[in-house]
Amino acid sequence: MKRLLFISLAIVLVISCAVPAGAVFASTEIVEVAQEGNVVDDESVVLEDSQDYAKTEDTEGKGQEKLDDTSPISPIPPPLPDLVIAQLQIGAKDRPNDEYIAVYNNGSVTVDVTGWCIRSVRTSVVPIACFDEPGVDYEIGPRAYGTLSSMGDVPGGAMVWFGGGIVASDNTIELVDAEEEPRVVNSISWKNRPVSLQYGYVEPLIECADGRLVISSEQCAVVNMCQGIQLSEIAANADEQFIEIYNPGDSHVILEGCQIMTNRSAKSYVFSEYDFIESGGYKIVFIATTELTLTKTTTGMVYIVSSDGKTEIDSVEYSSLAKDTSWARIGGTWHQTYTLTPNTTNVYQQYLPCDEGYWRNIETGRCNRVIEVAGPIDCGEGRERNPTTGRCRNSLTVRELAPCREGQYRNEETNRCRSIATAANALKPCADDQFRNPATNRCKKIASSDDVALADCGEGRERNPTTNRCRDIVSSVPPAAGFAVEPIKDAANIFVGWWVLGGVTVLALGYAGWEWREEVSRFVRKLAQIGRTK
């Protein structure tokens, strides 16, 4: 009994040493389920579509190192990265060379796969394709794919192109590293070759919120923080309510576990494990398919929270939305818009289009009726519209001028007829001692220094510079009087003014005495009493 227990422990130890690090255990039995409208042939292999991941398994004994007590001690190789063969397409009978392999990096660091290979181990080891183009460094980033394809129409291209040739039935392919003794990183097996390329359900590997592919959901312990996404549009007061999410980042974002909440809902909407947003893409959640409730006309709130419901990723508040509008993020700012744009770029439309025959007044925001301005009425025959006043007036008829008689021509300045002979006559030239005055067009004698000087005007006269004629000198000193200065004698009535002044003063004093007679009387009596007392 003890010997049997010892042998069992030894076998377990040998198997544990042979299994490569990072390998994922899975049943080798492929689950084939016929979907509606897509019957899978018994002889066909079931492959996964772009949303599912191929089932992986370890091939027992592949890559197992020989245990030799006499072998020299070699350096311990680095641990195997967490990479898996996540997608596989093998050629069908009608398209034998359409083959595709996708390797997925489960880890959180970039892995250098230069020199790594995909090989077939059906009956013998046969290389299929390698990351080994000279001068090229091959790297697969965290939560990213490295693709190998024999088809030229793969969206986004492939990291490695190969000529195909994977044996389609009862085969196993392995992903091996570039060590001197290649180690199996991951492998995948299948049974029958497909008659044609058709797709059915395959039990997928579970993709955790952080992008890792695992066998059991219990292995997903990381909270999805839903980083990189944001709310883009809220259609609350519309017939078909929806919430739009946008991914402005450079890579896709897995939405598994991310939650949407509103101020009116006790429950949240949780994204499934298959939900994701491509870079620059949108994700629409129609309210009618959820248990959410949106506030229509008053103030409402919408939130995006992490998968554990503890961290708010993004939120927006809106209020008083008009009918058939949405609350949209446009250029980093939120606006109410009348153009609803689910799954596409938001468009700002401030107002609804005006009805036919109306135009939008930008200042008031209202629609105004287009006023058609009637054209001017025809003034009638023989009349025209004055361009200055806009009124009708009789047409100005231009009479044709009668032709000038023979020997005449029409002067352009005066529009009159003029004799050609008269116009031809030239002025007679002036004499040598004369010049033609331009003002009178007459000849005038040229003045010279030999001319006789002007005569003196005489005493008391001067020559006017304007007329050049003599005139009397006007003196500013007045002429002397014809008699001597005599003294002024005082008249007898010189003091009449003083008498007048004295009389006025007496009258004034008399009037004052009359006005204050009672006061003066009382004052005098008071003085008399004072005198008697003394």
pLDDT in tens, the chain (534 residues): 444 434 444 443 333 343 333 333 333 333 332 233 333 333 333 333 333 333 334 434 444 444 344 444 445 566 788 898 888 888 777 777 788 888 999 887 899 999 999 998 888 888 889 999 999 999 999 888 899 988 877 777 788 988 887 887 788 889 999 988 899 999 888 877 665 554 444 455 667 665 666 666 666 667 888 999 999 999 999 999 999 999 999 999 999 999 999 999 889 999 998 899 999 999 999 999 999 999 998 999 999 999 888 889 999 999 999 999 999 999 999 999 999 999 999 999 998 889 888 988 888 888 998 887 667 788 888 888 888 888 888 886 656 778 888 888 888 878 888 887 666 566 778 888 888 887 777 888 886 545 556 778 888 888 888 877 888 887 666 666 666 666 665 555 556 778 888 888 988 888 888 888 888 888 888 888 887 776
Q: pTM of the full predicted structure? A: 0.34
Single-letter amino acid code for the residue at 206: I
Beta bridge partners of 156: none
Please report the pLDDT score of residue 18 as a whole number: 39
Distance CA 19, CA 187 (A): 12
Total Cβ atoms within 10 A of residue 186? 25
User: What is the token pair recorded at 319?
Assistant: 């209020």
User: CA-CA distances (angstroms) from residue 528 to 94, 521, 524, 533?
Assistant: 161, 11, 6, 9
pLDDT of residue 501: 86
CB 293 within 8 A of CB 262: yes
**Within 10 A of 228 (CB to CB), how many other CB atoms are there?**
16
CATH topology of domain 230-367: Immunoglobulin-like (2.60.40)
Cα distances (Å, whole numbers) of residue 133 to 102, 130, 394? 18, 8, 96
Q: Specify the domain boundaries for CATH 2.60.40.1260 within the chain.
A: 21-66+78-217
Distances (CA, A) of 176 to 85, 112, 306: 11, 13, 37
The tokens for 55 are 């089932």
Q: Which residues of 486-513 are buried (b: 16+ CB within 10 A; e: fewer)?
A: eeeeeeeeeeeeeeeeeeeeeeeeeeee
Please say whether the beta carbons of 228 and 246 come within 8 A: no
Strands 160-161, 145-149: pairing is parallel
Question: CA–CA separation, 258 vs 247, rounded Å?
Answer: 14
Say which CATH architecture domain 21-66+78-217 belongs to.
Sandwich (2.60)
Interhelix angle 517-533/496-515, rounded to 10 degrees, is 70
Q: How many helices (H) and strands (E) does the chain have?
A: 4, 33
